[in-house]
Structure 1
Amino acid sequence: MPKDNPLLVDSALPYGLPDYRRVRPEHFMPAFERAFAEHRAEIQNITRVRSMPTFENTMVALERSGELLGRVARTFYTVSSAHATPEIQEIDEALAPLMSAHQDSVQLNADLYWRIKTLHDQRDSLVLEDEQRYLVERCYREMTHAGAGLDGEAKKALTAINQELSIRTNAFEKNLLADTNDLALIFTDEAQLDGLSDGELSAAAQAAADRGLEGQWLVTLTLFTGHPYLASLTNRESRKRILDASRMRGRRENENSNGPVLLEIVRLRAERAAILGYDSHAAYVTADETAGSPDAVHSLLRQLALPAASNAAKEQSALQAIVDAEPRPFPLEAHDWAFYTERVRAATYDLDRAALRPWFEAERVLRDGVFRAATELYGVTFTERADLPSYHPDARIFELHNDDGSPLGLFILDLYTRDTKRGGAWMNSIVDQSTLLGTAPIVVNNLNVSKPSAGKPTLLSLDEVNTLFHEFGHALHGLFATVTYPHFAGTNVFRDFVEFPSQVNEMWMFWPEILAQYARHVETNEPLPADVIQKLQDSEAFNQGFATSEYLAASWLDQAWHSLNSDEAAAIVDADAFEAAALADIGLDNPAVPTRYSSTYFAHVFSGGYSAGYYSYIWSEVLDADTVEWFIEQGGLTRTNGDRFRQRLLGVGGSKDPLEAYRDFRGRPAEIEPLLKRRGLAG
């Protein structure tokens, strides 16, 4: 009965926050079954209307449908990504094909498609507001893109492929989580970890203790290839062990092997693209993004790859010179790069980035950095709500208010890594904003920061500070979007635009007024010295050859896999060989500069939503770098600037063409020169 299942009744908590104190794993599948049935009935009610389609009886009814399913799904997927216990993983595995089949039953519904197409064909004669017209256009475009216009046999084949893909992508993520945990490195001698800070050693000791390994140290693996500890560890063998373990994920021939899984994913995606009338999965994906085609993406990546690889080669020579001057020189390898980069940085800029951790205590970075920047720009304030329940004890809840005191929504921060959390960092929503439904947003940020032992402060690396600002940019997008229809809520924008707001928010990390507030020594409260700040700014372009190359390599790898036609995809039998050939093709096959993600642990594209879309970070960075110049030109951190960015970009959500919104904000299209300058690629 509904009263026995908290997922089937409206939450009594603020903003519709699920009451996680009452939700148990056994509640999810019955709730999904009920929600699927309810949504099917709602769609059937729309298609059975005998009168001709109107915006009200079709589009509004469609936007109101599936409310229960959306609520249950967002509640579940928040947990399945951040706290995937064995029970949750089992549900996720069983749910994947059911969810795929249900989504296809809506997206491929011929009667619903006819009604939306009718409105689309008549849109010039209908009296529609801008958001209403765009809703008709997007829904028609998305259903057409999904295959709603195909015949019955093609739809049947499409549905079967989609269900199989849901199973395979779920398996990829499950394998990766298991292998990441399995390959975490145990160290029995503290001397093997020489170079790590007290906080890092404390976190490693706590991670070992959590697995019952008292008196030892456990180094868990990050999602990307290069581990942060590689920059600090003086023991070369320890560095090699960490990088080798990182690159081995999903490659071993065991139950966690992802090679066969990803080959099947690539084959199925190519086959689906052919059914939909496209040459490749990349062609299918980019056709409904701002890029428009794989050629546009490939052109940008190739334009950047050659100078990036050239810069990386120069950086490598400088590093090798440092090694050659040592008593026992050796050829520089990938696991040496970060360590000797810091040596060069120290020699060139007199800067030790690893030693800066004491100035970046997590709580202060959050409140006096991330939150303060948002308050200065947008007038929003934050109040922690320890009285509200979250899905895990580490997940903290904050309520936001606008400067006039009106409530805005809830923000949840889940900072720490754990064995049940997938790798990386991300934002998701639990409740979407919609004036039609009367809902306000609840958004979540997840990171994977190592948790120190009890009583020790959490000290962040520069990269982790950057990630916190980045993910909060996504959160602001989700919180500020103010739309009528849930279809456009939050970050529901084109994939190659979604990273733009988050990348812009990174600029406030080093903004002087903000940095002065949060970058204070954890013990003495002394601010980060001015000369260190200047050195950080002077060294911003340093090592950009490596950083750009490793990112472009991953982007190209994604494109290479997904630019295959169905015959080519079916012929691939060796994932490692294909990867090597793809990287050689674009000239990014330097062994000392490994790709940011190798195929078998490339979760963004094989289990996340970035397939054929990982290029979106650099694509969005064109807009980001151009926007940073605008903020500087207009005086930086001011409410006037923040309000303009909020109203014309963040606030529109997905209810407007993103490039049109950008032109409205900037006064012109974006220019690429600021990006080339930032990445050291100008000229």
Structure 2
Amino acid sequence: MPSHADLNASLNPALVEWNGLHGLPRFDAVSDGDFAPAFDAALADHEAEIDAIAGNAEPASFANTIVALEIAGDNLSRVSALFWNRAGAHTNEAIQALEREIAPKMSRHYSKIGMNAVLFARIDALWESQAALGLTLEEQRVLERHWKGFVKSGAKLPKAEQDRLAAINEELAGLGARFGQNVLGDEKGWFLMLNGEAELAGLPEFVRDAMAAAAVERGEPGKYAVTLSRSIIEPFLTFSDRRDLREQAFRAWTARGANGGDTDNRAIVEKTLALRAEKAKLLGYDNFAALKLDNTMAKTADAVNDLLRKVWARAVARAREEETELAAVIAGEGKNHGVKPWDWRHYAEKLRAERFNFSEAELKPYLQLEKIIEACFDVAQRLFGIRAVERKGVPAYHPDVRLFEIRDAADRLVALFLGDYFARSSKRSGAWMSSFQSQHKLPLKNGAIGELPIIYNVCNFAKPAEGKPALLSLDDARTLFHEFGHALHGMLSNVTYPSVSGTGVSRDFVELPSQLYEHWLTVPDILKTYAVHFETGEPMPQSLLDKVLAARTINAGFNTVEFTSSALVDMAFHTRPAGGDPMAVQAEVLSDIGMPDAIVMRHATPHFQHVFAGDGYSAGYYSYMWSEVLDADAFAAFEETGDAFDPVMAGRLKDNIYSVGGSIDPEEAYKAFRGKLPSPDAMLKKKGLSTFDELSGSDA
């Protein structure tokens, strides 16, 4: 086995010594082959640090144990941040092979730490004597996080059960990596190449442009590729007049992870659920949902299901009304087929055009990516006093990635932000925020005091043809605002300890800053300023703006049914005894709740990456709706002032939500901002799923 010195000698310094602009990693100095030896060296470094903390001859103190743990593993954090960014946003076969190796190796490493009896004894001693330690509220939260983390890692289990738990965690890590790679494989491997006007019927120019660019990427210039990127498949399903092609594309989209062969995820799901159930039992929980919901705002599966079923009843009733309306549109065209899942978006768009006299195609020329980015930054400046300054010519991890300095009113640098906006075959689907490093104020071993947050957003918008602007749908624009809301949560963080920085909050609170930020997209002043026509520069006409705002709740039943069915299936998986075919469980749940035949789950089980590509949102997909209850009520606080940018309310929002991370209890954070906890009423009203009479009589 190589010595510690040999391991470090083989380490590319660029992976851990970030000496680019303002401490940015030098992405251009890192190659795929650097990661394997870097992980070996960084894991060994971290293990030595842990051994030193556990073996400290001095009695346990907050400083020599908890603070030491907070700053340990800096090299591992840096190597990991660079690697997982590449694995998600610009992967290849070499990175994917290493990912399958690294995921279980990291699990073994952290299992060993979590089951270190000597180290846990120090943490447990602090936990038991915390009343006498004189800790700040943030320090109490940090101590609690470490203590509970060790307990959930098996620190209190007998040795045999610890060994079994470690084996389960390792296997789950490998299964999660394979699940995500399989979905990416199906997305990358399927496309439908179109050629000629008959196959392109109904598609507006912006869809054709995106498909033409996708065809060029696949080596077919002059043709048009329907891909499984949401930025192409959804507009294709919306506008294509070719029902046969819509069905073909829809079936491919919904079959991801369930096509048989090497990329089929169904066996992975079954094994994952069995291992999660076993893990929960080992740790003393009735089921995996109980384990995951411990230390969340919801706390219990019953509380989650109560919210989901309340919303479901209203959503499915609305969706059936919508289906009847779509059937009438179909009949009005002289056609005699029912509403199928590949028809819904197409005829919903026609209904919107008929009812509100505008279509997505009419709206899209006013939603330029560049202008919506500017709008995101402007809202942040008006609410929080920060501005973005783009720095060009600085290498990032892909040529499409853009770098911005985030500066405060005194021109102090408060964060770096990277925006990665366009879809590519090397990037997994969806949109997300992550960080290369998080804000904190602790002194580090390299002599630095604290760290600057380096945050990035990844999206999958269709890349336009050369010389043309990228045009977004309204949903795309909301996605951009959503992810920048997450980014702000990381960039505005103002805490001392890394473990509670930024998005280090409970799963059902983490979506509040992002979903709340979406509201400012449709503030009339923002749309008037930034929704300008890409050719003429003219602002969106008031008449069109009025229609957009009036149409916000159209298709609300469909959208809510798509989401809520997925969340209910997720909860069923993690509350029922494990065993049997997960697809049969999915079918049973959908039958029990009365899932309309014309709608499918937003994320069917074999490609439900939130839940099975790792366990970040397992028994937690509901959290988007839980946070939606919060965000609707939070924006209502601004509406009540009559000013969407009310400075007093914005200050309270920054001080109590965006800057505190997990340093205080989320319920207390929300009450400090709003003065009370919310009911679902504002959320149901925002979705158009309740009337005033229903709201006034609600006791939820």
Scaled by the length of structure 1, the TM-score of the pair is 0.97
Segment drifting more, 672-681 vs 414-423: 672-681
Q: Which amino acid aligns with 1:564?
A: R
Q: 2:660 aligns with which of 652, 655, 660?
A: 652
How many equivalent residue pairs? 676
Distance in 1 separating the partners of 2:475 and 2:24: 31
Is 1:382 the counterpart of 2:394? The answer is: no
Distance in 2 separating the partners of 1:523 and 1:554: 40
Q: 2:37 aligns with which of 30, 38, 61?
A: 30
Q: Which amino acid aligns with 2:688?
A: G
Is 1:665 the counterpart of 2:673? The answer is: yes
Distance in 2 separating the partners of 1:285 and 1:576: 22
Is 1:413 the counterpart of 2:419? The answer is: yes
Aligned position for 1:344: 351
Aligned position for 1:82: 89
Is 1:130 the counterpart of 2:126? The answer is: no
Q: 1:596 aligns with which of 602, 608, 614?
A: 602
8 Å CA contact 1:15–1:409 kept in 2: the answer is no
Where does 1:136-175 land on structure 2 (aligned, <5 Å)? 136-175=143-182
Q: 1:228 aligns with which of 226, 235, 256?
A: 235
Distance in 2 separating the partners of 1:55 and 1:397: 38
Unaligned stretches of 5+ residues in structure 1? none
Instruction: Give the match's secondary structure for 2:416.
Output: strand
Where does 1:191-210 land on structure 2 (aligned, <5 Å)? 191-210=198-217
| CA deviation after TM superposition for structure 1 residue 418, in Å | 0.7
| CA deviation after TM superposition for structure 1 residue 637, in Å | 1.3
Q: Which amino acid aligns with 2:385?
A: G
| CA deviation after TM superposition for structure 1 residue 8, in Å | 5.0
Is 1:502 the counterpart of 2:514? The answer is: yes
* Cα shift readout 1:129-153 (whole Å, capped 9, x = no counterpart): 1211221122112222232211111
8 Å CA contact 2:11–2:37 kept in 1: the answer is no
Segment drifting more, 352-361 vs 140-149: 140-149
8 Å CA contact 1:225–1:594 kept in 2: the answer is no
| CA deviation after TM superposition for structure 1 residue 514, in Å | 1.2
Instruction: Give the match's secondary structure for 1:241.
Output: helix
Instruction: Give the match's secondary structure for 1:400.
Output: strand
8 Å CA contact 1:39–1:65 kept in 2: the answer is yes
Is 1:182 the counterpart of 2:189? The answer is: yes
Distance in 1 separating the partners of 2:460 and 2:233: 15
Aligned position for 2:342: 335
8 Å CA contact 2:207–2:232 kept in 1: the answer is no
8 Å CA contact 2:16–2:75 kept in 1: the answer is no
Instruction: Give the match's secondary structure for 2:120.
Output: helix
8 Å CA contact 1:224–1:424 kept in 2: the answer is no
8 Å CA contact 1:97–1:166 kept in 2: the answer is yes
Distance in 2 separating the partners of 1:506 and 1:103: 36
| CA deviation after TM superposition for structure 1 residue 379, in Å | 1.2
| CA deviation after TM superposition for structure 1 residue 46, in Å | 1.0
CA distance 1:92–1:75, shift in 2 (3 Å): same
8 Å CA contact 1:489–1:654 kept in 2: the answer is yes
| CA deviation after TM superposition for structure 1 residue 580, in Å | 1.0
Aligned position for 2:533: 521
Instruction: Give the match's secondary structure for 1:540.
Output: coil
Aligned position for 1:68: 75
Is 1:542 the counterpart of 2:554? The answer is: yes
Q: Which amino acid aligns with 2:434?
A: N
8 Å CA contact 2:104–2:174 kept in 1: the answer is yes
Segment drifting more, 8-17 vs 550-559: 8-17
CA distance 1:201–1:225, shift in 2 (3 Å): closer
Distance in 2 separating the partners of 1:78 and 1:492: 18
Instruction: Give the match's secondary structure for 2:405.
Output: strand
Question: Over the residues paired in the alignment, what is the CA RMSD in angstroms?
Answer: 1.5
Is 1:217 the counterpart of 2:224? The answer is: yes
Instruction: Give the match's secondary structure for 2:261.
Output: coil
Aligned position for 2:271: 264
Instruction: Give the match's secondary structure for 2:424.
Output: coil
Distance in 2 separating the partners of 1:522 and 1:282: 48
Q: Which amino acid aligns with 2:425?
A: D
| CA deviation after TM superposition for structure 1 residue 223, in Å | 5.7
| CA deviation after TM superposition for structure 1 residue 443, in Å | 0.6
* Cα shift readout 1:520-574 (whole Å, capped 9, x = no counterpart): 0000111111111111111112211111111001111111111122xxx23x13x
Q: Which amino acid aligns with 2:657?
A: L
Q: Which runs of 4 or more aligned residues in structure 1 lie more than 6 Å from their structure 2 counterparts after TM superposition? A: none
Is 1:477 the counterpart of 2:489? The answer is: yes
Q: Which amino acid aligns with 1:674?
A: A
Aligned position for 1:299: 306
Q: Which amino acid aligns with 1:675?
A: M
Q: Which amino acid aligns with 2:128?
A: D
Identity %: 39
Aligned position for 2:379: 373
| CA deviation after TM superposition for structure 1 residue 254, in Å | 1.3
* Cα shift readout 1:564-609 (whole Å, capped 9, x = no counterpart): 22xxx23x13x3322111111222x212011101011111100041
8 Å CA contact 1:120–1:140 kept in 2: the answer is yes
| CA deviation after TM superposition for structure 1 residue 288, in Å | 2.5
Aligned position for 1:680: 688
Instruction: Give the match's secondary structure for 1:436.
Output: strand
Aligned position for 1:435: 441
Is 1:460 the counterpart of 2:472? The answer is: yes
* Cα shift readout 1:335-391 (whole Å, capped 9, x = no counterpart): 111111112112211121232111011111111x11111111111111111132210
| CA deviation after TM superposition for structure 1 residue 4, in Å | 6.1
CA distance 1:8–1:521, shift in 2 (3 Å): closer
8 Å CA contact 2:10–2:38 kept in 1: the answer is no
8 Å CA contact 1:183–1:249 kept in 2: the answer is no
* Cα shift readout 1:489-531 (whole Å, capped 9, x = no counterpart): 1211111111110000001101122111110000011111111
8 Å CA contact 1:379–1:639 kept in 2: the answer is no
Aligned position for 1:425: 431
Instruction: Give the match's secondary structure for 1:193.
Output: coil
8 Å CA contact 2:442–2:497 kept in 1: the answer is yes
Where does 1:247-286 land on structure 2 (aligned, <5 Å)? 247-286=254-293
* Cα shift readout 1:386-441 (whole Å, capped 9, x = no counterpart): 13221000111111101111111111000011111000000000111111041010
* Cα shift readout 1:173-194 (whole Å, capped 9, x = no counterpart): 1111011111222223343222
Distance in 2 separating the partners of 1:254 and 1:7: 39
8 Å CA contact 2:27–2:397 kept in 1: the answer is yes
Q: Which amino acid aligns with 1:323?
A: I
Aligned position for 2:459: 447
8 Å CA contact 1:429–1:443 kept in 2: the answer is yes
CA distance 1:269–1:526, shift in 2 (3 Å): same
Instruction: Give the match's secondary structure for 2:155.
Output: coil
CA distance 1:298–1:358, shift in 2 (3 Å): same
8 Å CA contact 2:227–2:233 kept in 1: the answer is no
Q: Which amino acid aligns with 1:424?
A: G
Segment drifting more, 348-357 vs 500-509: 348-357
Q: Which amino acid aligns with 1:114?
A: A
Is 1:397 the counterpart of 2:415? The answer is: no
CA distance 1:334–1:114, shift in 2 (3 Å): same
Aligned position for 1:490: 502
Distance in 2 separating the partners of 1:342 and 1:139: 50
Aligned position for 1:245: 252
8 Å CA contact 1:16–1:431 kept in 2: the answer is no
Segment drifting more, 440-449 vs 118-127: 118-127
Segment drifting more, 135-144 vs 413-422: 135-144
8 Å CA contact 1:376–1:637 kept in 2: the answer is yes
Segment drifting more, 206-215 vs 479-488: 206-215
Distance in 1 separating the partners of 2:11 and 2:106: 23
Distance in 1 separating the partners of 2:438 and 2:532: 36
8 Å CA contact 2:207–2:235 kept in 1: the answer is no
